[in-house]
Amino acid sequence: MTTALITGATAGIGAAFARRLAGDGHNLVLVARDTERLRVQATELHDRHGIEAEVLTADLSDDKGIAAVEARLGDRRQSVDLLVNNAGFGNKGRYLEVPMADELAMLKVHCEAVLRLTSAATAGMKERGRGGVVNVASVAAFVPRGTYGASKAWVVQFTQGAAKDLSGSGVRLMALCPGFVRTEFHERAGMGTDSIPGWMWLDADKLVATALMDLARGRTVSVPDARYKALMGLVKVTPRGLLGGVTSRTGRRYGPQ
């Protein structure tokens, strides 16, 4: 039986990945900051699907937290076959309105943790000749909108580059770029959602199903909805200056974890 490790596993897209993978018969390593929520989730998934669900409490904005997950990914006796780097958050406010400590914490989680955990996972996967990594980015990666979008653009570029370097090794890497998803994200960040049109919201479970199909197909970037694919097509032909104005009016955050 294969094992998947999911960061940010207790809510949103991470929880949807956990439900789907458990339903497909994968054992899980669930990573988040809230130990009690992790334990409740692990028990529910074990009882419902008969899989083993391991709990790993870690804060990925902290070196010790990243190191703990790195160590689990590097354990050759309990190998991880699929890594889902989903942990992330957004800051409310424009550039220079957000405290520098919060900006740096975001980069720690979105960039440094993704780099270190992907590296820890793929080293063993390459040796075994199989494995997969899904790095959750956002459609915000494709528009000029502050630190959040910049950090997610890094995730996309890093994932595509690493996928190319590991081509032929049996290891697949994919950047998942969702749009707005109904999760706890906006509430935790103190962001309003009233201005977001209903048609822009995505269902987390459907998103995950599409993402796993795209990973199996060998895609390195997944935009898992026809509506957002169309929007990203428009983005490619829209002047960058105009995009900056549009994204300022529509909000800071796309595709919550």
Query: Could you read off the pLDDT of 202-232 as tens digits, one per residue?
Result: 899 999 999 999 999 999 999 987 676 666 6
In a domain, 256, yes or no: no
Q: Is residue 45 a part of any domain in this protein?
A: yes
Share of the chain above pLDDT 70, in %: 80
Is 106 part of a structural domain of the chain? yes
Partners of residue 83 on adjacent β-strands:
5, 133
Residue among 95, 148, 228, 254 flagged as catalytic: 148
Is the alpha carbon torsion for 90, 255, 56, 5 positive or negative? negative
SS3 181: strand
User: Looking at the domain assignment, is residue 257 inside a domain?
Assistant: no
Residue span of the structural domain in which 107 resides: 3-250
pLDDT tens readout for residues 149-164: 999 999 999 999 999 9
What value does the mean pLDDT of the chain take? Answer: 87
Between 257 and 72, name the one with better pLDDT.
72
Residue 252, pLDDT above cutoff 50: no
> Residue range 223-248: average pLDDT?
59
> What is the distance between the alpha carbons of residues 57 and 33, in angstroms, rounded to a whole number?
5
pTM, 2 dp: 0.87
Domain count for the chain, please give it: 1
Kindly provide the residue ranges of all beta strands, DSSP E only, lying in 51-117, ordered along the sequence.
53-57, 82-85
- Residue 251, pLDDT > 70, answer no
Coil, strand or helix at 222: strand
- Based on the residue annotation, tell me whether 148 is a catalytic residue of this protein: yes
CA angle 241, 246, 248 (to 5 degrees): 95
Q: Which CATH number fits the domain that encloses residue 50?
A: 3.40.50.720
171: pLDDT strictly greater than 60:
yes
Kindly state the tokens that stand for 5: 């490790």
